Amino acid sequence: MDKFEEKLKLAKVILTELEKGPVRRVNLLKRVIQSCGSPARFDSTFNWLKKTRRIRKAGLGHTDPYQITWKGERFLAGLVAEGER
């Protein structure tokens, strides 16, 4: 599995967790670390999802939780559909 496929797999895990409801970054890291193996991989993928506007903060506060966006929901649906093939 190449690095991009690993990033997509981790993105699917992160988006699936956020689909359940808003979660703080640290709590999300704790939930996802079992799947990704390292905080660096999580940070890289998390920042990529923020940059591409697939996730966003639920509010303006420093510790506000993150949530999935409409764009993220569509992306997750594509990842799930691709996994079913």
The total number of structural domains in the chain stands at: 1
Give the residue-averaged pLDDT of 32-53: 90
Range in 14-23, 32-41, 54-63 the model is least confident about: 32-41
Considering the chain, what percentage of its residues have pLDDT values greater than 90?
68
The enclosing domain of 29 has a CATH number of 1.10.10.10
Contacts of 76 (CB under 8 A, 6+ apart): 12, 15, 16, 19, 68
What are the tens digits of pLDDT across the range 56-70?
999 998 889 999 999
- Where residue 1 falls among pLDDT bands split at 50, 70, 90? low
Mean pLDDT, the chain, integer: 90
Domain region containing 77: 3-84
